[in-house]
Amino acid sequence: MEPRGKRLLSRVVDDAAQREPERLFAVIPRGLNISDGFQNLTEEMSHVVNSLCWWIEKTIGPAISQERLAYIGMNDVRYCVFVLACQKLGYEAFLPSTRNFDDANVHLLKAADCTKIFFSEERRTRVLEIQELCPNVEIFSISTLQQMLADANGRLSYIYQEAYDDVENHTFASSTVLELPLVPLTNGFFKCNDEFSRLPWPESRQPATFYSYGQEEIVLATTPFFHLMGLISFVMSIFHNVPVLIGPEKPLSVDHLVELIEKTSPTAGVFPPSVLEDMSNSEKALKSLGTLRSVFFGGAPLALDSGRRLRQHVQVVSVIGEDSRNVQAIFHTFPDQDVYRTNDLYTRHPTNPHLWKFHGRVDDVIVLSNGEKFNPVNMEKTIEGHPLVSRAVVIGQSRFQAGLLIQPTADAPEMSHNTFIKEVWPTVQEANQVVAAHGRILKERIGLASNAKPFKTTAKGTVQRQAILRDYEQEINAIYDADSAFDLDVPFPETTDRSSIVKYVHQIVSRAFGKSCFLNDQNIHNSGLGSLMTIQIAKVLQRGIQQHRPETKEVTIPPQVVYANPTVEGLARFLHGILEGTIHDDIPRNEKIHQLIQKYTATLIANYSTIAKVYCLNRSDAAHQKKSFSEKGLNVSPDEWAKIEFLQASVGEPQFDLERAKYEEISSLADTVIHNSWKVDFNHSVDSFETHFKGVRNFIDFSLQSRHNAHIHFISSVNTVGAWTRQMGLLVQA
């Protein structure tokens, strides 16, 4: 027998049948129900593989080349049997998802150059549908497991010698994206899994998988075997002697899983995140999971609230990315690469820099029509934590604002659309807090899935986002076309005095913010109000005015009004003006600019009482600078001149080319540096800026050794011409 890291899966199974005939590989159901009981699969594992090998060779002939054979079957041990048989025969096993939609199946079969599909009788109808779409495909029904066990040919060993990196099977990290290439998993890939037991582990740490369990510790596998996350349970059983428990193929309902765990008493279980989320909402299921040592999940994030509930009863272990880390088996799949990019997104732990949490996929990111981006996964998982929600999909690609599609749970009570949204709205509001303002969901942008059109899901239990967007295209358009009641609406005041209008506007803005702790004269945009909520506030204000005063229907309140009146007081004043018949803004723009200048230059450096001294490092002398101020109409009082000292300096020279005593004086007194002497002429070559680079470095050195570690601030002169228009002519370089 070859050493670890060189063994083939099929060789280990055959060797165990000869040397350890009682070794347990799997516990499998005797029938379609849990009540039918279970049976152990020991040396018979080798027999059923041999039986299938002889039958495939008889049916389609021996493998001349590594032709790909597809298998679509019931979720049982025959998936493993088929893979091992193909390994011994020299064929490649191709395991398409049973959940693929038609276009995906056509694409994958063509991409795989696969013209033969083997199937179990339970999947005949689906396979016939695929054959109609692909007339060149031949189909073959395999025997039941009991028939294979009874086949005398199973006692005849079928031996095939293959190379270390012969391709073993095809599986897919995601079957929902048609443009993804096929990803082959070689024998070398799985042999790396055989090396796990050699990996050293620090004290008090444990592996993220269950290969270190013993032969008496059975692991329940609930994930699909056409996906690597399911198939790996068989690999662990074969290479690491950890038996796998398989339940009857049933929908993974809470009741079914509770009964299965109670009847079979496994040590641990592997679950899709969506299943654990369902179980976390059931006290009965939590009690059942509490009998396990650990639950493993992967393929997608687990809702935070679900994880918190589960952790109170059982250890929760994430195996996300297990197929592409540890011993780096992925480079058997991609031998020409030295870097593998998973396209996964992670967030760092807030206090432990060595810990990272899975955050989603790069292709999950939604880009709104205004260019803003956000990742919806945390939002979706938060919303899916509500007991009435089975699945949540955030929408909004190329739209101006985000929306939401919700698939209610199968046992959700009958209720109207509005009642359902009212029930889940607090959870949606909670989800809105984990995303930037531009990604938040409004109540009017929520739709419900139809029972007749359930969300398509992947093998990992995650939603097939693109398929759902196609299936619900009309419903999504309707969500964005609807002009339904705004969730910011508040009753318009009966009395329209100034204080009532202020209170009314404050309530609307409070709902937009989700908080009320701000002042009426506070700039709401500076406080974080985004463009999306600005639009909504404008709509609500217009709606309120028109309902209270129908004669004002011609009056519009565009978002620009909210931008131009960025405080509650300002908006209230504007509304009050409409009600009083004075809707125009009678403050000229030039006067507004003048007011702003007066307001925000009142405490400039020279006349600010807390400023004791200002050193101006100039190229010119003091007399020239004072004359320049006078020519520009800048009035400086004698007291202000007394604070200012002009020094002829060159910031690119050591110590700014100042006398040592003056440099040390500034170094001991200054606590702030304002640097605005930077050449903005990019017609020059880079090396012509070297003096300026030196100047910046000199300021840094000055700050580091100065008594107060003076803070450095850079002022951009570009902003001084930001309002220059084309009509003003060409802007002359200064």
Inform me whether the pLDDT recorded for 165 exceeds 50.
no
Two tokens, residue 38: 């279970």
User: What angle do the packed helices 78-89 and 9-19 form, to 10 degrees?
Assistant: 100
Q: Minimal CA–CA distance to 442: which of 483, 384, 475?
A: 483
Inform me whether the pLDDT recorded for 732 exceeds 90.
no
Two tokens, residue 186: 């070689």
The better pLDDT of the pair 40, 250 is held by 40
* Structure confidence at residue 169 (pLDDT): 47
Is there a single domain that holds both residue 256 and residue 186? no
Judge whether 338 lies within some domain.
no
Reported as a pLDDT band with limits 50, 70 and 90, residue 422 is very high
Q: Minimal CA–CA distance to 8: which of 215, 161, 183?
A: 161
Inform me whether the pLDDT recorded for 405 exceeds 90.
yes
Q: Minimal CA–CA distance to 245: which of 256, 261, 259?
A: 261
b/e map 464-500, b = 16+ CB within 10 Å: bbebbeebbeeebeebeeeeeebbbebebbeebeeee
Q: Minimal CA–CA distance to 667: which of 653, 656, 652?
A: 656
Is there a single domain that holds both residue 609 and residue 565? no
pTM exceeding the 0.75 threshold for the entire prediction? no
458-507: per-residue pLDDT in tens?
766 778 888 898 899 989 988 887 654 455 567 788 888 889 999 988 88
The better pLDDT of the pair 428, 180 is held by 428
Q: Minimal CA–CA distance to 14: which of 154, 148, 146?
A: 154
Q: C-alpha distances in angstroms, 641 versus 619, 694, 711?
A: 18, 30, 24
Least confident piece of the model among 92-96, 161-165, 627-631: 161-165
* Structure confidence at residue 663 (pLDDT): 94
Domain count, the chain: 5
The average pLDDT across 163-181 equals: 45
Q: Under 8 Å CB-to-CB from 179, ≥6 apart: which residues?
A: none
* Structure confidence at residue 526 (pLDDT): 66
Q: State the CATH number of the domain containing residue 142.
A: 3.40.50.12780
Reported as a pLDDT band with limits 50, 70 and 90, residue 719 is low
Judge whether 593 lies within some domain.
no
* Structure confidence at residue 123 (pLDDT): 94
The average pLDDT across 395-411 equals: 87
Q: Which amino acid is at 300?
A: A
Judge whether 594 lies within some domain.
no
Judge whether 617 lies within some domain.
yes
* Structure confidence at residue 170 (pLDDT): 45
Judge whether 350 lies within some domain.
no
Is there a single domain that holds both residue 22 and residue 157? yes
* Structure confidence at residue 164 (pLDDT): 44
Q: C-alpha distances in angstroms, 719 versus 384, 712, 716?
A: 46, 19, 6
Q: Is 429 helix (H, G, I), strand (E, B) or coil?
A: helix
Reported as a pLDDT band with limits 50, 70 and 90, residue 174 is very low
Q: Which helix (H) or strand (E) holds 193?
A: helix 187-194
Judge whether 683 lies within some domain.
yes
* 313, 333, 353 - which closes a domain: 333
* Structure confidence at residue 49 (pLDDT): 96
Least confident piece of the model among 74-88, 316-330, 554-568, 668-682: 316-330
Distance separating alpha carbons of residues 467 and 405, to the nearest angstrom? 13
Is there a single domain that holds both residue 14 and residue 143? yes
The average pLDDT across 68-76 equals: 94
Least confident piece of the model among 35-39, 515-519, 537-541, 637-641: 515-519
Two tokens, residue 406: 């919700």
Q: State the CATH number of the domain containing residue 289.
A: 3.40.50.980
Judge whether 732 lies within some domain.
no
Parallel/antiparallel/unpaired status of strands 614-618 and 644-648: parallel
Two tokens, residue 484: 């339904």
How would you class 602 by CB atoms within 10 Å of its CB: exposed for 0-12, middle for 13-18, buried for 19 or more?
exposed
Two tokens, residue 37: 């009981």
Is there a single domain that holds both residue 307 and residue 436? no
* Structure confidence at residue 722 (pLDDT): 61
Q: Minimal CA–CA distance to 459: which of 303, 274, 211?
A: 274
Q: C-alpha distances in angstroms, 563 versus 406, 448, 535, 580?
A: 33, 34, 10, 22
Most confident of 241-255, 256-270, 432-446, 596-610: 256-270
Is there a single domain that holds both residue 548 and residue 451? no
Residues in the chain: 734
Q: Minimal CA–CA distance to 303: which of 278, 283, 320?
A: 278
* 132, 162, 193 - which closes a domain: 193
* Structure confidence at residue 389 (pLDDT): 93
Is there a single domain that holds both residue 138 and residue 270? no
Q: Under 8 Å CB-to-CB from 184, ≥6 apart: which residues?
A: 92, 167, 169, 170, 333
Is there a single domain that holds both residue 414 and residue 374? yes
Is 143 within 8 Å of 151 (Cβ atoms)?
yes
Is there a single domain that holds both residue 34 and residue 181? yes
* 125, 159, 193 - which closes a domain: 193
Distance separating alpha carbons of residues 701 and 710, to the nearest angstrom? 10
Is 143 within 8 Å of 121 (Cβ atoms)?
no
* Structure confidence at residue 734 (pLDDT): 44
Is there a single domain that holds both residue 164 and residue 50? yes
Q: C-alpha distances in angstroms, 313 versus 253, 293, 380?
A: 19, 10, 24
DSSP state of 336: T
- The rounded percent of the chain whose pLDDT value lies above 90 is 34
Is there a single domain that holds both residue 115 and residue 209? no
- The rounded percent of the chain whose pLDDT value lies above 70 is 82
Least confident piece of the model among 13-22, 133-142, 362-371, 423-432: 362-371
3-state helix, strand, coil in the chain (%, to 5): 45, 15, 45
Judge whether 733 lies within some domain.
no
Q: Which domain holds residue 409?
A: 362-481
The better pLDDT of the pair 152, 715 is held by 152
Is there a single domain that holds both residue 178 and residue 214? no
DSSP state of 463: B
How would you class 507 by CB atoms within 10 Å of its CB: exposed for 0-12, middle for 13-18, buried for 19 or more?
middle
DSSP string, 229-297: HHHHHHHHHHHH---EEE--S----HHHHHHHHHHH--SEEEE-HHHHHHHHT-HHHHHHHTTSSEEEE
CA 133 to chain centroid, in Å, comes to 34
DSSP string, 687-725: GGGHHHHHHHHHHHHHHHHSTT--EEEE--SGGGGTT--
Q: What is the mean pLDDT of the chain?
A: 82
Neighbours of 56 (CB within 10 A): 24
Reported as a pLDDT band with limits 50, 70 and 90, residue 591 is low
Inform me whether the pLDDT recorded for 286 exceeds 90.
yes
318-375: per-residue pLDDT in tens?
887 665 555 677 777 777 888 877 777 788 888 988 888 777 777 678 877 655 678 8
